[in-house]
Each structure stands twice: as structure tokens, then as C-alpha cells.
Amino acid sequence: MNPNLYQDVDGQYRGTDLKIHKTEGYTNYSVFSLWDTYRALHPLMTIINRNKTVDWVKTFLDQDEKGGMLPVWELSGNETNCMIGYHSASVIYDAYKKGITNFNARAALFAMLRYAESKKVGLSQYTKEGFISNDFESESVSKMLEYAYDDWCIAMLAKDLGESDTYSRFIARAQNYKNAFDQKTKFMRGKLGAIWYSPFDPKEINNFFTEGNSWQYSFSVPQDIKGMIELYGGKKSFEQKLNELFSTDSKTTGRDQSDVTGLIGQYAHGNEPSHHIAFLYYFLGKPNLTQNLVNQINQNFYTNNPDGLIGNEDCGQMSAWNVLTTIGLYDICPGNGNYLMLVPQFDKITLNLENGKKWEIEVKKASSNSKYIDKVMINNGNYTLSYLNYNKINEGGKIVYYLVDQPSEWGTQEFAIPYSEIDATLVKVPVFNTDSKKFRGEKLIEIESTEPNSKLFYVIVTNNIEPKRFEYKEYEKPFYITETCKVYTYCKKGRNSSQFIHQKFYKIPSDKSIKILSDVNPMYTAGGPDALIDGIVGETNFKTGDWQSYVGTDFTAIIDLKEPRQVNQLSIHVLQDVGAWIWMPKYVQFFSSDDGVNFKEIGQEDNAVSDKNYTPTQQNLGGKADVKTRFIKIFAKNYGNVPDWHPGKGGKAHLFIDEIIVN
């Protein structure tokens, strides 16, 4: 069972500062897989184990005090940072909202802010520009969406504590999800810089998402479901999109992702990002559609076989989903305080609450085929809403569900539909309508806004100085640029403005071209062949989109210098990240030619970086040259198969290249 008790019998434990401490007034725990468990496990525990919930929150705060941050994915007093978001904020606020308040709430808010206002994992761009580009931080779309929900939790706690300024800032941040939504494709979509990534395939599992694809993340707005529905064009359009999710082909493209299992269409119950999606029909007044899906999931994906779970247990999350739906509840937005009312899976269920009271559940069916809610009675009184406040459960009592064979009117009327909305409004940032940040000669710049009745403003900057607001001018039509520059822009709607964003455009030298003779991995193209001669050098994070990958194959390319030129230095910029199956080439060779057909060798440079060096490392592999030529051929020898000492033994190694340097 997780979280685990993590202290000795005398209360001693090792803190996140790696020193020995002794607990006072709580029990210390470990193993917080919060990206998973905030969704169902912790909302379940607020019902059946309030006391442990307090211990967990106090453990969070202790870890913040000792280690400088709330847990993300903590193990044995060590933060692994192996997942995303700051979902301790969700667990803390959900507990607070449900009256589990015997912890220092102001200290909790301060701890939340310490993380959310840091510059960790894309937060600096997210805070400043309202979105995260994948060339700044990988898995950018997933992080944006998870951060926005966590920011809502922070905003609501701040509001409850009377911190109005903090509330205003974070309720705006909670709407940053809108900057990930592409109005044309109707999907959450990644960006490189301020440009939508292209080509776009919502089924593709790639580095824009954490263990999933756009289908599985395009509904990840639990804090503002009303606003999300409006983005899709209203309830009818949103329902069509949901229906398409569950009915489309289950085949995914892109990276192989073992976590994406239990597919119904592109819904993946075997992994957490999908876990709330089946319940969204409740917000459309169509609870019967949710009831069908939940029944299908429980019947097919939870069995008593040895492999009875369709995906990883993930520290209790997978089972907690089943337990909650079995007792007829689901908390789609932890912190909201309400549970959706589902069809219980047993005729009688009793929850023995820690306050000594009981929550008794009874199901009465019109026939053995009955599976739709027709009426609900609580303590002998008619209950007409399709959701239930936590306090009603914690007070104890008896709830009776009356089921019928066909969908009924229950939960379909407007007053009965659950709510999830943000009252404040955010002006979405503009986007650049182009497919590349690189150009030769001149480039037409088109800026778009999806905000009706709004104006765009922009300024062109050729240095590294951020412009002042008065320097911007109104955007009226597309314009041309002829040199490397940054274009800053923002959207103004009435008295409100979006955040200021920018895009750097690079002019590629026209004095050479490249022809690549090897097959590039379609997951890592860096935008095409010109990426290797554009002068843009990548970072050690291979996921940002600046690198090309060649899997299990050598690399060969020919550069045309357009005319014979003196060449004094030749090298390729390559990367090694052993944990990700990326190795340096064994060697690189350079050849020259006057006609592009007949080549002679200039030289060879062998790699000297150890193949067991797990630290992400980049180098320019090559050296001096002394040749006058028009054509240069480059050959890089792939490392080959993944060695036996590596966890991926037998697989094919990646060769990552992002620039060929010819001086």
C-alpha cells in the first residue's frame, strides 16, 4: 500500500535534507506518486481516511521545510522529479476544501507558491508568456495543462485565506490551458517557439506529451470544464469530440509507449491522463453515456485474473478509480468539493466513516438489466442533482439509487448538471501562422488571434533588448522580414491584454545547401534537412526539437558550397544521452569533391567519449582541414546495437546530430 509509513517506532525518520529527525504530532510517510494519485486515490482517502490525509499533508509540508519543495514524486525521502506538475497542491487544497484543516494552511500556501513561482521545468516561460514551447521545455503541452489545474488549486486556497492578489494572479494562470488549444484543429497542440508544431497528428505519442498524445490530453481541464466546452464551440461540438475520442481507431503513432493501454478508441484507461474523461458527459446533461462507459471499463479492465489491471497500479490510483466508481462516486476536479453520482456496482454498500457515522448505499433495480439512474433518495428525501457534496457524505446517512433499463431524465436538466468554471477571463496569446522559424531571402510574417473583437500589436527587434510597450504598433496585415530578428506581439481586447510573447526567426545563409542520404527518424526531424546547416546549436535536452535522430543506421550527407571554397575546419555537433539510448557515433569521416560524384577522404575523427558516460554530453566531432572544394560529404558511424550491460540491450542506438560546421 502506498504511501508507505516512513519512520521508526520512536518517530525517527530521514528527511528530504537527508538528516535524521523525529516527528511531532503526525506520522511520516513516503512514496507520493502524485501525478497518478491526486486524481482518485486521495479523493477516496478524504472519505475513508481523513486522519491519514492529515499525516500526508503534514509530511508534504515537512518535505518542503527540509528539502525546499513540496513532493512531486518522492521516494524514501528523495525527490525523483520523474513526473510532472505540482500536484501536492491538489491534495492539500482538496483536503482543506473538505474540512480536513488541522494543518498550517498558510504555510501550505507559501510552500505551493515556492514551487509555482520558481523557474523549474518550464515555469519561467509559462509564467511570463502564458504557455510553454517544446524547444524551451519538453512535454510542454502536458506540463501546461497540469500546471493550470494546480494553479487553480493555489488560487482557490489563496481566496479562502483572503489573499486576493495571489488569487488574481493564479486564477489567471489557471486559464493558461487556453493557450494550448488550437482553434483550427480543435486539439491541445504543441508549439515550437510561438508556432504550432507541424505536421500535427493527434494520435502521435511524442515529446510534447507525458505518456500520451493529444487525444488523451485535449480534455485535461478539470478546473474549468465550462470554459473548455466553449473552446470546442459549445456542448454539441464538445459531445461530438468526446464521441469521436471513444469511437476512433485505437492505433497510436509515433513513439512506442507501454503505459498507453486499455484503449477504447483513443481513450487509454491504462494510464492516468484519461481517467476523468468518461465522466465529462455529465457536464453535457448526458449521464447515461458516462454510465455506459464506466460500466464497460469496470467490466473489461478490472478482473480477478493475475493481470487483472489494464495498466500499472501506480501506487493505488488504478484501483482507487475502480473503488470510487464501484461505490457510485467520482471526484472529477479535486478541490471542487463535489463527487459525481454514478451507478454503484453492488446492491448494498456501507462506508464506516472515521467520525463514527455510516454512509449507506442501496441500489434498487426495476429489472436485472437496469443500469441507468432514474431517481435518487437521500435520507428518504428526493435528491435531484447529479453530483453530491463531500459534506453530505461525511455527515452520514442513507442514499438509495433507483435504476431502470433505459436512459431517464435524471441528471439531464440544467439545474442538475455539475459545475466547473472560472469566472475570470483570460485574453489568449497570439500565434504566428507559419510552419518554420527559418528562412532564406525574406519571410512573410502573419500573426493570428482567436479572440473576437481584438487587436494585435507587434514590434521587430534585431538585438537582445526586450522592447518597451510604447514601441509596439498595431498589426494590420502580414509583413516581411529580411534578417534574423525577434518579433514580439500581444493581443488586446477591450481593457485587457494577453501576455507578451515573441518568436525568433533565423535567416539561413544561402551560400550552401544539404542533401541527406540517410533516413531520419520521423520523431526527430528538427524541421528538415536545413536544421543541420542553420547555425542553431541544440542543448543537451534532446526532446526540444532541435536534434535529428538516426536510429540503427549510419548518417551520410552531402553539402554543396555552391562554388569551390577554402575549408579550414569540419565537424558535426553530436549528442550522447545513454539513458535515452543515444550514443556518440563511433567515428566521423569527411570527404571532398569538385563534381559531387567522385569523393576523396579528407580525414577521420574517432569518438573519445566513453559509451558508459550517462551524463548528457555534446561535442563537435571533427577537426582541422585544408582543402579547396565545392562538395563535402559527411559520414558518421552509428554506435550500433544497445550493449548487453544496458537495460535496453539488443535495441537500436540513436545517433543524434543537430549541426554540421564548415569553416
Domains of the chain, by residue range, sit at: 4-330, 431-507, 513-662
Would you state the pLDDT for residue 539? 85
Grid cell 503541452 is found at 141
Grid cell 481593457 is found at 495
User: Are 661 and 622 a contacting pair, CB within 8 Å?
Assistant: yes
Query: pLDDT band for position 257 (50/70/90)?
Result: confident
Four-way CATH pick for 431-507: 3.40.50, 3.10.450, 2.60.40, 1.20.1250? 2.60.40
**Residue pLDDT, tens place only, 424-459:** 889 999 999 998 999 999 999 999 998 999 999 999
Average pLDDT over residues 633-637: 98
Check whether 156 has a pLDDT greater than 80.
yes
**Residue pLDDT, tens place only, 20-68:** 999 999 999 999 999 999 999 999 999 999 999 999 999 999 999 999 9
Would you state the pLDDT for residue 425? 87
Amino acid at 298: N
Would you state the pLDDT for residue 537? 87
**Residue pLDDT, tens place only, 481-506:** 999 999 999 999 999 999 999 999 99
Quick one: 4-330 is in which CATH superfamily?
alpha-1,2-mannosidases domains (1.20.1610.10)
- As a whole number of angstroms, the distance between CA 15 and CA 437 comes to 47
Residue 526 C-alpha cell reads as 528538427
**DSSP calls for 153-203:** HHHHHHHHTT-HHHHHHHHHHTTGGGGGEETTTTEE--EETTEE-SS--TT
Would you state the pLDDT for residue 580? 94
Amino acid at 570: L
The pTM for the full model equals 0.92
Would you state the pLDDT for residue 258? 86
CA distances from 528 to 36, 374, 513, 545 (A): 36, 58, 12, 11
Q: Using CB atoms within 10 A of its CB, is residue 518 exposed (0-12), middle (13-18) or buried (19+)?
A: middle
% of the chain residues with pLDDT over 90:
93
Torsion of CA 342, 344, 350, 353, to 10 degrees: -30
User: Are 275 and 356 a contacting pair, CB within 8 Å?
Assistant: no
**DSSP calls for 110-162:** HHHHHHHTS-GGGHHHHHHHSS--TTTSSSHHHHHHHHHHHHHHHHHHHHHTT
Grid cell 435504476 is found at 403
Average pLDDT over residues 635-653: 96
User: Are 228 and 424 a contacting pair, CB within 8 Å?
Assistant: no
Quick one: 513-662 is in which CATH superfamily?
Galactose-binding domain-like (2.60.120.260)
Q: Lowest-confidence range among 250-264, 388-402, 554-568? A: 250-264
Which residues are 551's β-sheet partners?
654
Grid cell 504557455 is found at 131
Would you state the pLDDT for residue 545? 83
User: Are 342 and 332 a contacting pair, CB within 8 Å?
Assistant: no
Check whether 464 has a pLDDT greater than 90.
no
**Residue pLDDT, tens place only, 260-296:** 999 999 999 999 999 999 999 999 999 999 999 999 9
Distance of CA 115 to the CA centre of its chain: 17
